[in-house]
């Protein structure tokens, strides 16, 4: 990973206008390419699940998340290149329901006996019962792990 991205990541974490979820997303996408041998897959969920979960949780507070990504674009251009595709996806899909279903479908294909409706319901439950989106996504992953056993 290049030094400029590391420097921008450090500054990003010090920026109180950027929420914890967007910080985590930026770190995920910025460091994902640094694991050329696929070793990151031992530490985190498969990319199809992680990236789909990020979309689902970003859609929960879409306007706020879009504002935060706009700040990332302006203040951290190197880092933004890593997340620009996700940001564009959130911007372009004004009908977020189809994006929501597509993301839930991607997750359901990796989790046995779990429907799109189950996933969307759990996302909503996780958000309602959490103080932050980052806490909510953690609850969602815990729930996913109980389903995949």
> How far apart are alpha carbons 90 and 128 in whole angstroms?
21
Q: Are 49 and 123 in contact (CB under 8 A)?
A: no
Which tens digits make up the pLDDT trace of 85-139?
Answer: 999 999 998 788 999 999 999 999 999 899 999 999 999 999 999 999 999 999 9
Count the alpha carbons within 13 Å of 92 in the hemisphere toward its beta carbon: 7
Global confidence as pTM? 0.87
Q: pLDDT tens for residues 18-52?
A: 999 999 999 999 998 765 555 545 556 889 999 99
């Amino acid at each position: 990973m290049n030094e400029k991205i590391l420097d921008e990541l450090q500054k990003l974490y010090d920026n109180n206008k950027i929420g914890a979820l967007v910080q985590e997303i930026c770190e995920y996408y910025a460091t994902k390419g640094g694991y050329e041998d696929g070793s990151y897959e031992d530490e985190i969920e498969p990319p199809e699940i992680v990236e789909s979960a990020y979309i689902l949780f970003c859609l929960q507070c879409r306007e706020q998340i879009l504002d935060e990504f706009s700040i990332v674009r302006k203040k951290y251009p190197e880092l933004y290149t890593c997340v620009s595709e996700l940001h564009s996806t959130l911007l372009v899909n004004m009908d977020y329901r189809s994006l929501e279903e597509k993301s839930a479908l991607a997750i359901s294909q990796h989790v046995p006996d779990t429907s799109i409706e189950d996933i969307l319901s759990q996302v909503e439950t996780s958000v309602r019962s959490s103080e932050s989106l980052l806490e909510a996504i953690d609850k969602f992953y815990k729930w996913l792990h109980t389903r995949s056993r």
